[in-house]
Chains A and B, each alone.
Chain A
Amino acid sequence: MSAILSLQSVSKSFGAVVVANDLDLTLGNGEALGMLGPNGAGKTSLFGIITGTLTPNAGKVLLDGRDITRLSSPQRCRLGIARSFQVPQPFGGMTVFENLVVAAAFAGGKRESEVYQIAATTLEECGLGDKANRLAGALTLLDRKRLELARALATRPRVLLLDEVAGGLSEGECEILVALIKNIRRTGISIIWIEHIVHALLAVVDRIVVLAGGAFIADDKPEAAIRHPRVAEIYMGISADE
């Protein structure tokens, strides 16, 4: 599997807090990678570094082998990197449809009239077809999460970064989103998914990495990764030494 995205020797710290210490990470083309780690480990910061909202102190970000470390967020978006936020951040004053049209038009460098079809199809795929003309700020949490995904998809990404999509949802709602993400996978989009709800991750991803203390302490097949002693320590409060 050839790499689509890679981080090379990336370091980032906020004062004394180290979120990445000489990190290497490779995402294969078409791969779905899960990311676990305690709160504050720097998982979301890595998304910031990949999308260009955070500048690493050292290291490189590569897309298809091309160094994109110095590119701006809009440039990276147009190259095919999209992300969703843990707390959905729709353009609340615009309709659901407009949210997608803006994303599709500007990310694709297209006229609005050329992207209406993409926007409509994407909304349908994400289960928002009947809510296209609602004001985005007035949606329920599940629909906001769907919109968060739909808007990211409307940019026609090749790499999709998902930040705790399942958090805050009921079991049934979580299943709906897992099914949606499985469908996204099938289209060939490569995914990195940060998630605390482990069974949701297990249903989708090919591989799991565990970030703690600025380093990946595990990088393995999903079942093996979650059995890693440090993972148990982090999630169960059990010390690996005991």
Chain B
Amino acid sequence: MEWVNIIFQGVLLGGLYALFAAGLSLIFGVMRLVNIAHGDLIVAFAYMAYFVMAALHIGPFTSLAVIVPAAALIGYGLQRGLLNWTLGEELPPLLVTIGLSVIIQNLLLVFFTFDTHRLHAGDIEIASVQFLPDLSVGVLPLIQFAVAVAIIAGLQIVFYRTALGRAFRATSDDPVVAQLMGLETRHIFAMAMALSLAVVAVAGVFIAIRTDFNPFYGPQLLIFGFEAIIIGGLGSLWGTLAGGILLGIAQALGGQFNVGWPFLAGHVVFLAVLIVRPQGLFPKVAL
């Protein structure tokens, strides 16, 4: 039963990884932009939540009401003011987002020092439910997982059932033709970035309740996001969820063998998938 418990923990953690990955995959799908600063933005939102919680004396869940809209606005502005100008070739967006990553890390270092922080959610952090005699699961990870699945389902609906989603898919297919059909691609790209950052803001706050973070935590989260996408298969949101879960399970099991192994185990599973099934578990390249 101990193993079931560990796997369960891994599944729940994987939901968060899937959220990081969903934000990353969304903007890659719509505008072929690989956002190297993705992880650092997640950490920046965690710090923002830390600041907002202290200033307004609210909990991390309530802070989402401020952080999520702020993240969406930042995403929209970032895309229109900066990233839209880099699109068209492969290299410029990579270089600019690497630069952005360095800038965010160092700004966080200047303002918050290298001290680690954690967001405190109160009693809910230690609450748990007893599923089976030997299997008890934390309420917080359970809520986080449920929210992650709900957000991914929501993104799926946005993509396939709404005007904005059709605009995303049309622009992703052919941005030049999309413009001739009246779609303002600059606005649509900015909406995609706004949605992406709104999603990762939730993920950032959630991970910061579970783990200590510091200004240089971002690149690690970026790697988890990439790994979840590749394991799940490019372009499929449900695949990304599966990828995140597999990564979470691998890390949980690895940590069981040796406290130093969780990340190693995750990377090993990622490499194994790349070797055995390089297209990922559920590939669907066109969004």
Q: Which chain A residues (97-115) contact chain B, with CB distance < 8 Å?
A: 98-99, 101-103, 105-109, 111-112
- Nearest chain A residue, comparing its CB with the CB of B185: A74
* Cβ–Cβ < 8 Å partners of A8 in chain B: none
* Interface: B34 (CB within 8 A): no
Q: A85 to B180, alpha carbons, bound, how many Å?
A: 11
Q: A74-B184, A93-B286 are in contact. Are A105 and B179 (CB under 8 A)?
A: no
Q: State whether B286 touches A101 (Cβ < 8 A).
A: no
- Nearest chain A residue, comparing its CB with the CB of B179: A73
Q: State whether B179 touches A91 (Cβ < 8 A).
A: no
Q: A102 to B165, alpha carbons, bound, how many Å?
A: 10
Which of the residues A53, A102, A107, A109 comes within 8 Å of B166, measured between beta carbons? A102
* Interface: B90 (CB within 8 A): no
* Interface: B49 (CB within 8 A): no
* Interface: B163 (CB within 8 A): yes
Q: State whether A89 touches B174 (Cβ < 8 A).
A: yes
Which of the residues A72, A82, A92 comes within 8 Å of B173, measured between beta carbons? A92
A-B interface pairs (CB < 8 A), number = 73
Chain B residue total in the interface (Cβ 8 A): 21
- Nearest chain B residue, comparing its CB with the CB of A110: B163
Which of the residues B173, B181, B184 comes within 8 Å of A103, measured between beta carbons? B181
Q: State whether B182 touches A77 (Cβ < 8 A).
A: yes
Q: State whether A98 touches B174 (Cβ < 8 A).
A: no
Q: State whether B179 touches A101 (Cβ < 8 A).
A: no
Which of B174, B179, B181 is packed against the most chain A CB atoms within 10 Å?
B181
* Interface: B153 (CB within 8 A): no
Report the minimal beta-carbon distance from B127 to chain A, rounded to whole angstroms. Answer: 43
* Cβ–Cβ < 8 Å partners of A105 in chain B: 163, 166
Q: A91-B173, A93-B286, A94-B169 are in contact. Are A78 and B163 (CB under 8 A)?
A: no
Report the minimal beta-carbon distance from B84 to chain A, rounded to whole angstroms. Answer: 13
* Interface: A155 (CB within 8 A): yes
Q: Which chain B residues (155-180) contact chain A, with CB distance < 8 Å?
A: 162-163, 166-167, 169-170, 172-174, 176-180
Which of A72, A78, A93, A109 is packed against the most chain B CB atoms within 10 Å?
A93
Taken residue by residue from 173 to 215, chain B's Cβ proximity to chain A (1 for < 8 Å, 0 otherwise) reads as 1101111111111000000000000000000000000000000
Q: A85 to B177, alpha carbons, bound, how many Å?
A: 9
